[in-house]
Every structure is written in C-alpha cells, then in structure tokens.
Amino acid sequence: MNNASAPKPAPEATPAVPADTVVRRSTDGRSNGAAWFAFRRPIPQWVGILLGALCLAIVFGIWWFLTRGPHEERIIGYSALPSPAETFNRDQFQNLWFDNALTRNLLVSLQRVVFGFALATLIAVPLGVLCGCFPWVNAFFAPINVFGRNIPIAALIPLSFALFGIGEMQKVMFIFIAVVAFIMMDTAAAIADVSSRYIDTAFTLGASRRQIILKVLVPLAMPRLFNSLRLLFGLAFGYIMLAELVTEGGGVGGLGNIINVAQRRGHRETIILVLIVIPAVALAIDRLLFMIQRSLFPHQYGGDGFLHILWRGIMHTCEDVKRWIIAPTPLQPGQQAALAHKPAAHEPHAAPPT
Amino acid sequence: MTTPSSTTATPPTSQDVGIGRLLEEVQQAVSPPTRPHVVEFRNVSKTYNPGQANSFTAIRDVNFVVADLPNKGEFVCVLGPSGCGKSTILRLIAGLEPQHPATTGTVHVFGKPVEGPGADRGMVFQDYTSFDHRSVLGNIAFGLECQGVARNERNELARHWIEQVGLDVAKDSEKYPHELSGGMRQRVAIARTLILQPRIILMDEPFGALDPQTRMNMQDLLIRLWRAVEATVFFVTHSIEEAVFLGDRVYIMSTGPGRVEKELEVEPADRPALEMARVPRFQETVYYIRDLIAQLEAQANKHAK
C-alpha cells in the first residue's frame, strides 16, 4: 500500500554534470552498488512488483522442476505433489467450482467467522473498554485473558464438541473462544494508550465520566482498536479452517471440509487450489476492511472520510432523537449575550461606532 | 492590594522595581474575609507515595490567597524553575488527580474546598490536547455538547469563538487538529475553554512549545480575551518576560520542595508584547526577578549542602 504513496525521486533534482566528468558516486556519497543495501531506501513500485513476480516464478520453477516428466520418473511422485500443469487446468477448476461448490462453502466458512467474531466483539469490546479505564476491572478479568491468550487454540477443539455439539454452534463458539480474549486485551490496550491529558482536558471542560468514556476515550482509541479487529479477523479466518478440518462426522461444509474431502479422495490438485483461494480471500477481506478503516478515520489516514461523515450524520440523528425526549439545556445569559452582540454583516445599522 | 498578613504584627513594606512592586511577604488570608477569595491555599503540601522509598514532596506549606476584585479578574502568573511544583498548584486548583487531593492543608476556590474538576475552572495545557477525531468546531463546542446544549446553538456560539481567537470560520471550522499549527491548536484550546465562561482559567505553560513570534502573538491575544471575559487567570510559565508582561500578580516559587517565596504586583501591560519588551522599566522588573530567582536558588543549594 505504501509503495503507491512513496515519493518518487524527481529527475530534475539530479545536478547537472559536465559531459566530461565521470561520476562514480552519487552526490550523497553512496556508490551505486550500495544502493541495494541502503537501509530503508524506498523502491519504485514497478521494482516491487517485479521482485514479487520473481519470487513467484522461482517457487513455480522449483515446483515444475520437482514434478517434471512422466509420473514414474519424477523427483516427487504424483501421489504426493501434482505438477503445476496438472493443478492449473480447466478440469480441476471446474471440479472445485461446481463439484465441490466452492462459492457456497466459502460463504459457509465466512458466515461462521462473522457470527463468532461479531459475538466476541459485542462482548469483549465493552468489557475491554472498562478494563482500559479501570485497572480493577482489568485485574478481575486477568485470569481469563491469560488463559485465553496462552491456550493453544487447537487443544480446545475436543472440549468444544462436548460443550457445543457437532453442528454450527460448535464452529461459531470455537471462533468466539479463539478471539474473545485477544479482542478484550487489544481494546483495553487501545483505551489505556490514550494519553491521560485528554481525560484531564475533558474533565476541565465539564465532561462526566460516562461522557469521557463515550466521547473521548473510545473515539480516540477507535483507529487503533479497528486496526486490531481487522488483524484479528484475519486470524479468525485462519482458525475456521482448523475447526472445519477437525470434525466429528462429515458434511460440515466450509473450505476446510473441501480440503478434508479432497484429501480422502486423493485429489491433491483440489487441495492446492483451495490453498491458493484461502489467502486470496483473506487478502481481499483485509483490504476491504482497511478501506473501511481509512474511510472511518480520515484524521488518521487522510482521504475524504465518507464513512466518517456518514457516522457523524448517524450520531446527529441520535442526538436529535435524544433532544426530542430530553429538552436541550439553554445557553447561559452571558453566552447568549455574546451571540446577541455579534454584529451581523447583513444588518446595515450594525456600523461600528466612530 | 496590600492586605496585611494575619500572622505578623508589623505591616509589611514593599519595594518598587520597574513596573512591578515586590511585596514584603506573600499575601495571606485575613479572617474573616469580606467576600470569598478566588483561590486560597492554606498550608498545602503534596507528597507522592508517602511512606514509601520513592516518596516525593512536590510542594510544602504553600500559602497564598488571590482576593476577589469586583468586576475584574486578576491575571496571576506562577513563575519558577522546572520541577518546582508550579503544575501541582494548578492541578490542585483544577481538582485533577493524582495531584488532587492535597496531602495536607486546604485548597479553597470561592470559599469552598475543591472536590474535583469542573467546567468553572477551565484549563489549557502545554501539550496539545485537541480531540483528534473532532473538527475545530466540534472541539470548541465539546463542553456545550456535554452540557446538552442544542446543536445549532452550540455551533453558533462555537463559530463566534472561532472568530474571537482569530481563526477563520469559513476556512478553519471543519479542519481537524492534525491540519493545524501549534499556535492554531492553542487558539482552539483557549476558545474551547472560554466558551464555557469559567470564572477561573488555568494555563499550564500553554505557549511553551511555540516559537517566539507566535508566542508573543498569543500573549497579545490572551490579554485581549482576558480583559473581555473578567475571569481570574492562573498562568504557569518559566519565562520571566511572559510572566511580567501578562501578570497583574507574579508568584515566584523555589524548588526542593516547592514553595511560593515571593509575590510581586505588576502594572498591566499597555502595549503589545513585542513593544513592551523594549520598555526599560519592563526590563528592570525582568532583571530584578532574574536576580531574585538566582538568589533563591543559591539559598536552596546552600540548604541542600
């Protein structure tokens, strides 16, 4: 993402050099060869893309080399790893798309992640906010968070069958358990990271504790919090594969199930294709969430902040409804006087006294 | 304002220095006061982590009183080296933790003990504390929003204050803090405080991070606004020029632990900061205070040895 916004070196910045001068070193004293190893030197976008393509080419080259020739003469046998040509062909794509119902299974997996993650967010974010505000709440939840963050999540799968059965509930709750402690701790950290000078300021402006939480701490922590949630969603998307791979009884659906079935039938090509689909989908989701993040917090990322404006509009509407129920506080006399004495430009008699 | 000290029998004498006048003793409360004092510190000490190995006394036995003048707020500057407890005094008036509550002694504001922070004691900090997610308008209207003032009214008043602090309503009101310079941010902070009509304005080195030219402009702006709002200002600084220019009254503090050592009354500034700095009588006061502080530090060092 950063490559696009990185400043491109201006060609006119190069000092004019007389034709007969041999320039061995650039003006900043680094030789041309050292340019590759200059710390943190930005590279042009096309070089970045080229290097990525080179890496892919090498991986595929090795893959091709190891699986070339007839089945019996290969370095790695067909039963272990099919060749690139055997994997990326029309039959295999058709098999994945239609026979294995890729789209439907993808949606099934996504739905599980979204439900489990949404449930975890609804519970963990408010609790995390309280943890970040009040150390005693944090201390109270510390044991649960220590457990939740340190338990290898795969170890919870057998117990989750016992608790939640073998249906959808188990998948959703597995995602919930996998991320709830992380969301809570990240929320608490984001809130605690807001400098206390903002709390002091809000107090001296007459804000109540509730207003400080809702109008100061949460909004100021929101960019960091949203960023954490985006990264954790990626993690949860990884965990759902685990829940779908380890099953009791078949036919649970989801991308993990496609892998399971293909494994049983000996379709290595399908497995490889799914393995390429998974990171592609994860990347697409991550970029989508990042676009939302950018649009929500223009003060952090620039841009027009469409969602930020939309959110402000929603908040204004909520406030209007509230004012309809609870009458607004009138201005103090002095404040009204300040407005009344303001010379209005459209009033001709408001000429300044001479 | 030479209220005689209640503790000494002989009336204090004072000494004229330039545009200032050094009082023999720091003004103390007379009892009973004719009207409640704006701020009164009585034997106030603040010790952090008392009884522990890392216990630290920020201020010890601070006594002073700022009398309430009819229809006029005083501009009180608190001057002293870093770490002398200037901010502690300010935050005790504001009622902000962890300085509040004082370990011993009492802090009274308008005759009542300070129990916690409130909008009647507005505060401007040295660090920029604009709320990053709010526009200039949203920042200035924040206090009114918390009070539950209707949106059109609070925005109208906020626009009035954007003008008052020298910003442009059309250009600046929808800007976000990261788009503002340090000086503009402090203008927003001042407007955000003054819109609530506080009776006391606490300023903790608000111009400390600004360049000299901006700083002088802000000083002029502050004097102009303060004359219009009739509030008492407590202004903490370590710039002697700033204190003498802005202050009607200057408290000089010493370190280790902090105490209010001297009090000066200063004539109000009658010209902009840039011109005031060239007036010999102004400079005389500045040099006098500089020597006084050096003298106090020498004494403190002698005590330390």
pLDDT in tens, B112-135: 889 989 888 999 998 888 999 999
Q: A284 and A155 in one domain?
A: yes
Rounded Cα distance between A154 and A183, Å, is 18
Q: Is there a single domain that holds both residue A258 and residue A130?
A: yes
CATH number at residue B47: 3.40.50.300
DSSP per position, A124-153: HHHHHHHHHH-HHHHHHHHHHHHHHHHS-G
| Pairing of β B56-66 and β B104-109 | unpaired
Taking an 8 Å cut-off on Cβ atoms, the answer to whether B96 and A216 are in contact is no
Sign of CA dihedral B19, B25, B27, B32: negative
Q: From chain B, pick out residues whose CB is under 8 angstroms from the CB of A217.
A: none
B217-257: pLDDT as tens digits: 999 999 889 888 888 999 999 888 888 888 888 988 887 78
For residue B125, tell me if it sits in a domain: yes
- Are A125 and A195 in a shared domain? yes
Asked if residue B187 is part of any domain, the answer here is no
Judge if B86 and B142 occupy the same domain. no
Q: Which amino acid is at B231?
A: A
Report if residue B6 sits inside a domain: no
Q: State whether B98 and B234 are in the same domain.
A: yes
The number of CA neighbours under 13 Å toward the Cβ of B153 is: 19
C-alpha span between A57 and A54 (Å, rounded): 5
Single-letter residue type at A280: A
Single-letter amino acid, residue B252: I
A199 and A79 within one domain:
no
Are residues B20 and B97 part of one domain?
yes
For A84, residues 6+ apart whose C-beta sits below 8 A from its C-beta are A60, A63, A64, A67
Question: pLDDT of B194-215, one tens digit each?
Answer: 999 998 999 999 998 889 889 9
Residue of A nearest to B179 (CA): A299
Residue B205 and residue B119 share a domain:
yes
Pair A172, A280 in one domain = yes
- Considering the domain architecture, whether residues A308 and A167 belong to the same structural domain is answered as yes
Same domain, B150 and B117: no
Whether residue B59 sits in one domain with residue B168: no
Nearest Cα residue in chain A from B200: A204
Same domain, A73 and A174: no
* Any A CB within 8 A of B48 CB: no
Q: Based on the fold, state whether residues A54 and A132 are members of the same structural domain.
A: no
Give pLDDT, residue A326. Answer: 87
The residue ranges of chain A whose pLDDT is under 50 are: 1-17, 23, 25-26, 29, 344-354
Pair type for strands B259-266 and B39-48: unpaired
Asked if residue A28 belongs to a domain, the reply is: no
Q: What are phi and psi of A178, to 5 degrees?
A: -65, -35
Spell out the residues 6+ positions from residue B46 whose beta carbon is closer than 8 angstroms to its own.
B57, B58, B59, B85, B88, B92, B99, B102, B103
**Interchain contact, A205 vs B133, CB within 8 Å:** no
Q: Tell if the CB–CB gap between B196 and A206 is shorter than 8 Å.
A: yes
Tell me phi and psi for residue B185, to 5 degrees: -60, -40
Domain match, A125 and A52 both: no
Q: What digits encode the pLDDT tens for the residues B19-72? A: 777 777 777 766 665 677 888 888 888 888 888 888 888 888 888 888 887 778
CB within 8 Å: B131 and A219: yes
Helix (H) or strand (E) holding B236: strand B232-237
Same-domain check for residues B25 and B82: yes
Statement to judge: residues B258 and B208 lie in one domain: yes
Give the Cα separation of A49 and A62 in Å (integer).
20
> Does B176 sit within 8 Å of A298, measured CB to CB?
yes
CATH number of the domain that residue A172 is part of: 1.10.3720.10
What pLDDT, on the 0 to 100 scale, is given for residue A124?
Answer: 95
Count the domains in chain A: 2
Distance in angstroms (rounded) separating the CA atoms of residues A84 and A272: 10
pLDDT at residue B305, as a whole number: 62
Q: Are residues A280 and A204 part of one domain?
A: yes
Residue A29 lies in a domain: no
Contact predicate A242/A178, CB 8 Å: no
Burial (CB count within 10 angstroms: exposed 0-12, middle 13-18, buried 19+), residue B40 = buried
Sheet holding B121-124, edge to edge: B14-17, B20-23, B259-266, B249-254, B75-79, B232-237, B200-204, B121-124
Inform me whether the pLDDT recorded for B7 exceeds 50: no
Chain B hits for A342, CB-CB cut-off 8 Å, are: 160
Q: Residue B123: closest CA among chain A residues belongs to which residue?
A: A204
**Range of the structural domain that residue B114 is part of:** 14-130+198-304
Which one of B131, B164, B178, B188 would you mutate to disrupt binding with A, by most A Cβ within 10 Å of its Cβ?
Answer: B131
Torsion of CA B252, B255, B259, B261, to 10 degrees: -40
Whether residues B300 and B220 fall in one domain: yes
Q: Is B160 on the interface with A (CB under 8 A)?
A: yes
Q: Considering the domain boundaries, does residue B58 fall inside one?
A: yes
One domain for residues B32 and B142: no
Rounded to whole angstroms, the Cα distance separating A3 from A49 reads 10
Asked if residue A270 and residue A156 are part of one domain, the reply reads yes
Q: Which of B121, B144, B197 lies at the smallest CB-CB distance from A204?
A: B121
Nearest CB to B119; choose among A195, A206, A330 = A206
Q: How distant, in Å, are the alpha carbons of A37, A126, A131, A133, A141 from that of A137?
A: 49, 12, 5, 8, 6
Q: Clarify whether residues A296 and A152 are in a common domain.
A: yes
Question: What is the DSSP code string of A292-354?
Answer: HHHHH-HHHH-S--HHHHHHHHHHHHHHHHHHHHSPPBPPPHHHHHHHHTSPPTT-TT-PPP-
| B284 shares its domain with B209 | yes
Q: Per the structure block, which two tokens stand in for B162?
A: 């954007």
pLDDT digits (tens, 9 = 90+) for B65-115: 888 877 788 899 998 887 788 888 999 999 998 888 888 888 989 888 899
CA distance A184 to chain B (A): 23
Question: How many domains does chain B contain in total?
Answer: 2
Residue B67 lies in a domain: yes
Q: Convert the pLDDT of each residue in B270-293 to its tens digit.
A: 788 888 888 888 888 888 888 888
Q: Is A353 inside any structural domain?
A: no
Question: Is B145 a member of any domain?
Answer: yes
What is the nearest CA distance from B129 to chain A, expressed in angstroms?
6
Token duo for residue B94 = 């504001």
Structure tokens at B268: 């109000």
What's residue A64's pLDDT?
93
Q: Clarify whether residues B121 and B258 are in a common domain.
A: yes
Domain boundaries, position A156: 103-314
Q: Kindly give the pairing relationship between strand B20-23 and strand B259-266.
A: antiparallel
Q: Taking CB atoms and an 8 Å limit, are A338 and B148 in contact across chains?
A: no
Sequence-ordered strand ranges (E) for B39-81: 39-48, 56-66, 75-79
Q: So what's the pLDDT on residue A28?
A: 52
